[in-house]
Structure 1
Amino acid sequence: MKELIKYLLDNLYIDFQGEISLEQVRGFLREDDGREARQLMAKLIEEKGVDDLLITLADCLKEHIQTGINERVIREQLSTYSES
Structure 2
Amino acid sequence: MQLFKYIDRINLMDRLIRQGHTGTQTEFARRLGLSVSRLARIVEYLKDMGAPLEYDRTRNTYYYEGEYSIQIKVDIQQLTHQ
Calculate the TM-score normalised by the size of structure 2: 0.34
User: Relative to total residues, which structure has the larger strand share, 1 or 2?
Assistant: 2
User: Relative to total residues, which structure has the larger helix share, 1 or 2?
Assistant: 1
Which of the pair has the greater relative contact order for Cα pairs under 8 Å at 6+ separation? Answer: 1
Calculate the TM-score normalised by the size of structure 1: 0.33
Larger Rg: 2
